Amino acid sequence: MRKLLNAAFIYMLVGVASGLFYREFTKLNNFPEGQFTQLGLAHTHLLTLGFIVLLIVLVIEKVFVISQSRKLFLWFFWLYNAGVILTSAMLIWHGSLTVVGQESNNMIAGIAGLGHMLITAGMIIFFVSLRRAVLRHTAAPEPVEA
């Protein structure tokens, strides 16, 4: 549980910092307000996929102890986080290039796509782990009150 809490906290810090970077970097480079750049998406990806989702997983862990399937949980944790980090990094890279007026290439989109695939794989493993935990939880006999 501590690993989930620490990761969520780090995502919160990096998510807020990326929003600050987006605002200040676009101002510094006189980027037209209202013009789209993927740089602004990194902020919401980090806060939503990192901070909020991991806090929800923390609550689910508390209720169902999904980490009891240790291998599955570790696969989820590392695949999912690698995907969020990779996707967010590509959003920042591509968005920064847009702000400074440089053309990006298809490699950035490909790597971002790989990040999304890792997130998807992590979520599938999460649901397998969650399903096992829920079945284990519902199969346990109810405590009898005296």
| pLDDT > 80? residue 144 | no
| pLDDT > 90? residue 146 | no
Average pLDDT over residues 61-79: 94
The pLDDT score that the predictor gives to residue 79 is: 97
Sequence spans of domains, the chain? 2-138
Give the Cα separation of 90 and 88 in Å (integer): 5
The pLDDT score that the predictor gives to residue 1 is: 86
- CA distances for 33 relative to 17, 24, 28, 61, 91, angstroms: 19, 12, 12, 42, 18
For 92, what's the count of Cα atoms within 13 Å in the CB-facing half-sphere? Answer: 21
Query: What single DSSP character describes residue 49?
Result: I
Two tokens, residue 80: 């999912």
